[in-house]
Structure 1
Amino acid sequence: MGMKNKLAAALLAIFLGDFGAHKFYLGKPGTGLIYLLFFWTGIPAVIGVIEGIIYLLSSEEDFQRKYSKRY
């Protein structure tokens, strides 16, 4: 699986978070599917923006520890 790009995950969360794109990218397809099923409510979009900001504010080390399989 390897290391994940923090900026890519953040941009996916902010711009495509309502469809769960960032969750699929981070290897969490189950959560991504839930976002996709409920995109019409707008709630996943709001959560996606919040998660994107959290990704950007986290240190590279913390992000990799949480989302990479190799770290």
Structure 2
Amino acid sequence: MSRLTCPHCNHSTLDHLALCQHCKTALHLEALAGVDPHVRVRSQYLAQRYSMILGTFGVHKFYLGEPLRGSLYLAFSWTLVPTVLGIIDSIKMAKMDSEQFEQRWCAHS
């Protein structure tokens, strides 16, 4: 895979990504003219925080475009199971690099 340099922060990033991995600046916007408008850009940091703080209620699942799983977290929020699962999800997201996160949750929704 080829890489390009971000004009804003001068860090090297993969050329197929729409955002710089370091500073989140939009890259080569002229190439985005034909991109599907339903592509969602989600923040890994925000998803991780939602998971850690509001994971009991499944807020992070709704944010990541998984309403069925979010509803299950919400339905069982009176138990400790969604709380534990939210913490586990938060740890998984913390260990995940930005490319993996974008491939998994920033695709078509």
Give the shorter-chain TM-score range: over 0.9
Name the structure 2 match of 1:13.
51
| Runs (4+) off by over 4 Å | none
Specify which structure has the bigger relative contact order, considering alpha-carbon pairs within 8 angstroms and separated by 6 or more residues. Answer: 1
Name the structure 2 match of 1:4.
42
Structure number having the greater strand percentage: 2
For residue 56 of structure 1, the aligned residue among 87, 94, 98 is 94
Looking at structure 2, the residues matched to 56 and 4 of structure 1 have their Cα atoms a distance apart, in angstroms, of 15
TM-score (norm 2): 0.62
Residues 39-69 of structure 1 show CA distances to partners (whole Å, capped at 9, x for unaligned) of 1111001110110111011000001100112
Name the structure 2 match of 1:31.
69
Matched residue pairs, number? Answer: 70
SS in 1 for 2:78: helix
Residues 20-42 of structure 1 show CA distances to partners (whole Å, capped at 9, x for unaligned) of 00000000001000000001111
Long gaps (5+) in structure 1: none
Name the structure 2 match of 1:40.
78
Query: Based on CA coordinates, which of the two structures has the bigger radius of gyration?
Result: 2
Aligned residue type for 2:58: G
